[in-house]
Structure 1
């Protein structure tokens, strides 16, 4: 043991260790209830068995349930049961839930409210579930009687209730996420596991939501508020994914009593020999025990298990595509879920053309429960398909038509080929089935080879294979088909969007880096655009076809000397397809080209451009900008230049929340087309400028698109611009000023564009920009009317006034079109391009508001 010399200072702890200790103390001070609960869970688990859970006598004394409370009188168990776990895996999940979810709730509600909600949801959740069980046992209900002897040890009951109460204190983004995902998770656990604790969790979640609303009545808001396209897709993808993985809960659940637990029999009992089942059941009367054993035999082996799991994997692939806005993924999820619902209804006898008379004995007291199982098994996938179909417009990214056709053709041909193989080879091996099969038996059995076993639990079996050759044929045609579907779906989702292959995307990026296309050219890379290339391959035009109108995203990109010919060739291509060509957001340098072609033009906005090389924010005109910068410096807010990949998880979530708060303030949906959203921030070439305070709280965000010349970035264009409602005044001015200051120090940067405010102009446009003749006058009045009408919702003119603070150059932007007669169609197409998700109800409501 070493001794410290007298008069010497003690060794100092490392700065990193000191920082960690301070962070731990701050967390302990902010969420003592959550950390205390996590510590209690850990101590109890170590004391009673962290791997396999408490011993039986502990479960009987402290676990809750019908028998514990009603029969044994252990009234304290609804509260004591939440401090124990069943196994080590559950301990890890519970510790994470206590620290993260309960900790988050405590930071929002405070420690006192958290304790009340925690205890209240634990007690009321279990008490409500036990009362339901008591009523079920008294009425002879099968589920209640089957689980009456189970003792629940479940820390997630109060966790669910606490986080739901906290949703009343959260912002709009997390309020919706918490409620949707928590209720979805609770329902999936109930349907696929079906233990008493699953019922307690669902009731606790609803109780917590009610308590939270009582604590904060001014924030009661159970309506579905508008969300951004990105957030809606994220939520729908999350719900679809949760429903898809639900059957896996059956595999890992300790007991399987849920309405949708088709694999439970396979995982809990041995599969009897096929020949024994055939002899005892198929050749005699079908009893309840025979149905049970036939189901076991049906799901015996890896093949039938895969037939049940692979469609779920298909839905997971679809959920990934839903998050990316892919229309193909939405249709894939709709078709698979609707197919499962229809097939389930067919084989369960819900459709009159099927008829399963031995299922529907309504006079029996027990058959209504079987009927409930069947109905729920059909309604869950059907409801999922309906919700996705109702939100189909939220998935605007369309795949290439050739890829979709190839996928559909591959699926159909694979099904027909495998079905023919099964029937043909089965006929050759007919003596290997028992009883011996006829051709009609094989044909009628084909659908069952491709259907998840869960839908066939009560379907009569006609025959079974008796050797490995016939068993391979019998079990594996279905898994091979679903593997083909999954591989085809992945390839379709990875392919380019409509009209844009991976090679086209690479060519477009190459042309962009060489230069040309103006300050708005980078918008051509956004999802949803189609790309046209001239014959030489050195000019590209990005466009979207809406209602038969081909609207370009910006001006031609590439070599300027070939631009005029490219415009003519593109117009010819549109004419060949029966489209009306419209060139949108073009600068004044292109107007002579359209004048020679005899086209009409009108101004649709003005781009505001800054010159960093001459940046000098002095003088009276810059007073507001200087004040905003000084105010940010005093508040400790700094500007951070970064990209999306470099963002931390918390920063990324804050940016999403800021965007959601902005969208919910609008009476109409989020705009698209030439206005980027969250999805466009993720491009590696795009840069972000964030306003971040000392607590790492993001107050505002702007995104900047690059403009190239000879592979070098020579300018940046502002796109995404959002701020928190409670952020300091002038935070946007601060971000733009800091961006200008940084760019002024980079000699290769020639301009900084603040982009254009659609439907807003200073009135300085003349000549061609003012329109030509009567048609131009009508068009100008139409654009002016739209600008004034949409101003209260989107504030285009206010945005233009904001940009004027920076003393920019004004560069007019024009819309060019060949025929004035097409103006109404062009106007409608532009409206649909900017508002692709606008419903008829929203359009009528907005129109009424204009009166």
Structure 2
């Protein structure tokens, strides 16, 4: 209660708006809203504000609602959305933004309508009698203004999603209030920038791959849900208006329609009734809605980085654009009698509406296609083939069923159909009815049996697409299938693979298992990624230790190399400890050092002495500021703290001139693993200041070590917060006798001394890596990170890379670069090179 009271004290204006909305609703009509006279007096719109001179309506209209459902949504919006804006802006600026966006957004909309009516513009004349009661106009405008005061992550999310939602409402509903709302959102954007100009270093820059995928998924989902607005909105001006007609008007009987319209009497009323007849049932409604569900499924897959989901979204959007171009663009100008809409109104207005209805899905498809690099998780070919079989096989089977049964039931249609009629009509059974409202109708079903065949072929096909897509997204990621992941985790829990072995569980890695030979031996797993024809292992082989069984370790490596050779890949073993050198020396492979792992021993942990002064100072500073360390898991965090971690990570990514690294460096997605632990720095207000993640290493089912992976800190946190977190982690684990080591992992391209290549070619490669490390240091700080880890007086364990042929070194170097920077574009690389001078 105390916390709720504190939050209420911080948002007095938002609570006041919610209270006013409730009071006015009780006073003017709780269930159905204000009376006609009150709507005309207090509601805004062209007729009331300009025609009758009610200049006050841009303010009064935002405190009224149409019905009880809108009241509930408005109160929630005031408390949650406007409340969030008030916490960011403060009460004074919130009041300013609320009033300014309401007046300016609505005022600009009214001016545009006035110009439209004066110029005879079709939309303005069509809606001039409508009025708006809309509290969401200033609510969305205010949160847009508040985005200027939010952090990098939420600033982008608020702006992108709010603007997308406003655009979708305007495109699919098209009422005056939708125009006012969009203009209020744009006004809020300008106001937010004016109130708090974003500093250059914090300007709109690259987002992390995780955040980019989240935004893609959210926008595709908003665009998919958009047509449903046509169903629930009061006025239906969108491209799926026939769905709205089904809900609001009586569907005439098929017999009456056919009798009047199939004899050449093609009038406006006839086409209207044919449209109603087309959607007169559950099946036609489903065939319009199910493709939107496919897009929602694709949106979910986009957030997971799935390339299949990107392809699915592209195909559906291209299909919608193509259908729109054909049925809205080509047919109306072909001289057919049903093109009456093009003979009325101004040609450019109709053309603009139709062009926009085609360009929205087309632009979405192009946008996704140009951003495929953000969706690296591919689907295994077997699952792609299964999806293709399900969809194409289902399409062919349903087509045969429709044509063959339709021929058997030909006398059940009005008029009786021919085989050519059924074949010509077949494509339209799978097309959303909204695209067919201008299409010629040759026949209709005349009884329930023919209606089932006519109406349900399309929905069954789209249900097959939905089922196949769900299966492909749930089980089809390239890399380790679920059963192999279970085998891998069993091996990890048994022990082996070193401190980096848990990285083998990350999405995107493929798994290869060596046979359990001789029979008593346990299986061995190798995790790898194939990049540009190079198979790079993620960690040491899991399940065998060359110190205990050198012959078997050599046999496993040789078998993996043969498998790679069979596939035409160059095998590369990456990040190996020195105990693996004898294996590759025996095989005659080349080796070169690529980093050094820093390791602490918790049972010896102490921070006494001069060399530990920096660590002690960081711990003491945190204690004085009331900062505490919390050992937890990501799944245990409340949503608010999970969002704080995402915000911290996004700020960190935005500070870089290049994309965030991958491969052996985890991101937000890897924190969700239930085996991974987090050590958080949390202040007295329960705000997360910094986060580290720790990967487990097992032996006999018990954790014997933890490896540092994810490190992020807020830009405004205390100095030394990372030293504090690592020190607290070591102190926490000191008393746990089973924990043998605490690895601070390795900084790529950074070592304590010169690399130890085995030949002249290796020496050249080492010098190249040294140059690359120095070049990337200003951006990624590998060597600064290595110097930071040296503060903890760790043990140093060299890590090396083994490869069979020095000639392949250039290809290996490129593959490693692409593995760490999978989304780097040529433009970004060129910009970075230019920045180096």
**Coarse TM-score class (shorter-chain normalised):** over 0.9
Q: How does 1:647-658 map to 2 (within 5 A)?
A: 647-658=637-648
Matches within 5 A, 1:60-79: 60-79=40-59
Q: Which residue of structure 1 lines up, in the alignment, with residue 794 of structure 2?
A: 808
C-alpha distance in structure 2 between counterparts of 1:59 and 1:811, whole Å? 77
The answer as to whether partners of 1:496 and 1:502 remain within 8 angstroms in 2 is no
CA contact (8 A) 1:168 1:220 kept: no
Aligned to 1:624: 614
In 2, Cα distance between the equivalents of 1:170 and 1:521?
Answer: 38
Give 1:559's match in structure 2, choosing from 544, 549, 553.
544
The reply on whether 1:541 has 2:526 as its aligned counterpart is yes
Q: Do residues 832 (structure 1) and 812 (structure 2) align? A: no
* Cα distance in 1, alignment partners of residues 598 and 487 from structure 2: 29
User: Separation in 1 of the partners of 2:821 and 2:260?
Assistant: 64
Provide the residue aligned with 1:445 in structure 2: 425
Kindly provide the CA deviation profile for residues 206-237 of structure 1, in whole angstroms up to 9, marking residues without a partner as x: 11111222222355899741000000000110
Contact 1:348 1:459 in 2 (8 A): no
1:758 offset after TM fit, Å?
0.4
Which segment drifts farther, 410-419 or 142-151? 142-151
Please say which of residues 411-420 and 509-518 is displaced more in the overlay.
Answer: 411-420
- Superposed displacement of residue 247, structure 1: 1.7
Further displaced range: 302-311 or 277-286: 277-286
SS of corresponding position for 1:338: helix
Could you tell me how far 1:354 is from its partner in structure 2?
8.2
Q: Which residue of 2 aligns with 1:492?
A: 472
> How far is 1:496 from its partner?
4.6
Identify the residue that residue 7 of structure 1 maps to in structure 2.
none
Structure 2 unaligned segments of length 5 or more: list them. 517-521
TM-superposed deviation, 1:146: 2.4
Determine if the alignment matches structure 1 residue 280 to structure 2 residue 260.
yes
Q: How does 1:667-746 map to 2 (within 5 A)?
A: 667-746=657-736
How big is the shift at 1:248?
A: 1.7
- How many Å separate the matches in 1 of 2:771 and 2:366? 38
Deviation at 1:311, TM superposition (A): 0.5
Give 1:5's aligned residue: none
The Cα shift of 1:170 comes to: 1.4
Residue number in structure 2 paired with 1:17:
none
Q: What do residues 627-663 of structure 1 show as CA deviations (whole Å, max 9, x unaligned)?
A: 0000000000000111011101110111000000000
Q: How far off its partner does 1:319 sit? A: 0.9
The CA deviation string for residues 458-493 of structure 1, in whole angstroms up to 9 with x for no partner, is 111111111111111111010000000001111111
- Whether the 8 Å CA contact 2:537–2:573 is kept in 1: the answer is yes
Match of 1:590 in 2: 580
- Normalised by the length of structure 2, the TM-score is 0.96
Cα distance in structure 2, aligned partners of 1:595 and 1:31: 69
Q: Does 1:796 align with 2:796?
A: no
Provide the C-alpha distance between the structure 2 equivalents of 1:677 and 1:386, rounded to a whole number of angstroms: 28
Tell me what 1:397 maps to: 377
Match of 1:433 among 394, 413, 416: 413
1:136, distance to aligned residue in structure 2 (A):
2.2
Q: 2:665, 2:509 → 1: CA distance? A: 13
In structure 2, distance between residues paired with 1:365 and 1:463? 30
Shift of 1:344: 1.9
Q: CA deviation at 1:47?
A: 2.1
Residue of structure 2 in register with 1:263 after alignment: 243
Map of 2:90 onto structure 1: 110
Is 1:820 paired with 2:800? no
Is the contact made by 2:239 and 2:434 (CA closer than 8 Å) also made in structure 1?
no
2-side partners of 1:299 and 1:307: how far apart? Answer: 10
Instruction: Tell me how far 1:360 sits from its aligned partner.
Output: 9.1
Does the CA contact (< 8 Å) of 1:69 and 1:77 recur in 2? yes
1-structure distance, mates of 2:331, 2:733: 68
The secondary structure found in structure 2 opposite 1:167 is helix
CA offset digits 1:808-846 (Å, max 9, x no partner): 001111111000000010011111111111111111112
Determine helix, strand or coil for the equivalent of 1:557.
Answer: coil
TM superposition shift of 1:254: 2.2
Moved more, 719-728 or 147-156: 147-156
State the superposition RMSD in angstroms. 1.8
Q: Would the aligned equivalents of 2:239 and 2:357 in 1 still touch at CA under 8 Å? A: yes
User: Is 1:349–1:356's contact at 8 Å kept on the other side of the alignment?
Assistant: no
**Does structure 2 conserve the Cα–Cα contact (< 8 Å) formed by 1:349 and 1:359?**
no
CA distance in 1 between partners of 2:336 and 2:787 (Å): 71
Change (3 A) 1:417 1:346: same
Q: Does 1:755 align with 2:745?
A: yes
Q: For residues 340-359 of structure 1, what are the alpha-carbon distances to aligned partners after superposition, in whole Å with 9 as ceiling and x for unaligned? A: 11122122234999886864
Distance 1:124 1:222 in 2: 28
Greater shift in the superposed pair: 817-826 or 425-434: 425-434
- Sort the Cα spacing of 1:670 and 1:206 in 2 relative to 1 into closer, same or farther, 3 A: same
Q: Where in structure 1 do 4 or more consecutive aligned residues deviate above 6 Å?
A: 220-223, 351-357, 360-363
221 and 247 in structure 1: CA distance in 2 versus 1, 3 angstrom threshold: farther
Moved more, 575-584 or 96-105: 96-105
Distance of aligned partners of 1:588 and 1:424 in 2 relative to their CA distance in 1, 3 Å threshold = same
Q: Partners in 2 of 1:284 and 1:456 — Cα distance? A: 18
Q: How far 1:681 moved relative to its partner?
A: 0.3
> 1:420 pairs with 396, 400, 417, which one?
400
Equivalent of residue 185 in structure 1, options 127, 143, 165:
165
Residue number in structure 1 paired with 2:519: none
Cα offset for 1:140? 2.9
TM-aligned CA deviation for residue 702 of structure 1: 0.3
CA distance in 1, matches of 2:213, 2:354: 30
Q: Name the CA distance, whole Å, in 2 between partners of 1:299 and 1:150.
A: 27
More displaced 10-residue stretch of structure 1: 279-288 or 446-455: 279-288
Task: Judge which range, 109-118 or 781-790, deviates more.
Answer: 109-118
Contact 2:662–2:820 at 8 Å: present in 1 too? yes
Give the whole-Å Cα distance in 2 for the aligned partners of 1:372 and 1:725: 47
Does the CA contact (< 8 Å) of 2:271 and 2:338 recur in 1? no
| Partner residue, 2:601 | 611
Note closer, same or farther for the CA distance 1:77–1:479 as it changes in structure 2 (3 Å cut). Answer: same
Q: Tell me if structure 2 keeps the 8 A contact 1:606–1:761.
A: yes
* Shift in Å, 1:171: 1.4
Written as runs of structure 1 = structure 2, the 5 A alignment for 1:109-508 is 109-217=89-197, 219=199, 224-350=204-330, 359=339, 365-508=345-488
**Deviation per residue, 1:543-600 (Å, 9 max, x gap):** 0111111111011011323332211111000000000001111111101100111100
- Find the partner of 2:81 among 92, 97, 101: 101
Gaps of 5+ in 1: 1-19
* Higher alpha-carbon deviation: 128-137 or 328-337: 128-137
* Closer/same/farther in 2, CA of residues 666 and 357 from structure 1, 3 Å limit: farther
Whole-Å Cα distance in 2 between the matches of residues 221 and 721 of structure 1?
21
